[in-house]
Amino acid sequence: MDIIMALRNMAVRKGYMAEAHRKVAKGICETGHLVSLRDEDKALRKKLGLEDTPPTVFAHPEALEQMKRIAAVCGFDKLVASGGK
């Protein structure tokens, strides 16, 4: 497992990444979440008695900024910025 993960990481650094996966990674980098918060999600959450915006990075802009800084510190933002091979 450890060896396979190390090899996968090496392959990504050489640009071998599926476009669909790169988009997922870029999305997490930029928004802090795997999926977006849509108006219909907000409406359903409200209907269920939940806060319309979950108390995650979506409700805390400073937390999202911290996430973006982590991506920059790790060089992850550049890694997934553009299309791979």
Partner 1 sequence: MAKYAFFLGCIMPLRYPGIESSTREVMKSLGVELVDMQGASCCPAPGVMRSFDQTYWMTVAARNLAIAEKMGMDVLTICNGCFDTLFEVAHKLNHDPELRKRINKNLRDAGGMEYGGTVNVRHFVELLYRDVGPEAIRAKVKGGKNLKAAVHYGCHFLKPSNIKKIDDSERPHVFDDIVEAAGMTSLVYKDKGTCCGAGGGVRARTPDVALKMTKENLVNMTAAGAEVIVDCCPFCHLQYDVGEAQLKEFKIPVLHLSQLLGLAFGLEKEKLGLEAHQIKVNL
| Interacting residue ranges for partner 1, rule: CB under 8 A | 1, 5-6, 8-9, 12, 17-18, 20-21, 23-25, 28, 32-38, 41, 44-45, 48-50, 54-57, 59-60, 62-67, 69-74, 76, 79-80
Shortest distance in whole angstroms from residue 5 CB to partner 1: 6
Among 83, 85, 80, 84, CA closest to 31: 80
| 44/83 with CB nearer partner 1 | 44
CB 55 within 8 A of CB 1: no
CB 21 within 8 A of CB 85: no
CB 46 within 8 A of CB 40: no
Shortest distance in whole angstroms from residue 2 CB to partner 1: 9
Shortest distance in whole angstroms from residue 58 CB to partner 1: 9
Residue reference for tokens 């090496």: 10
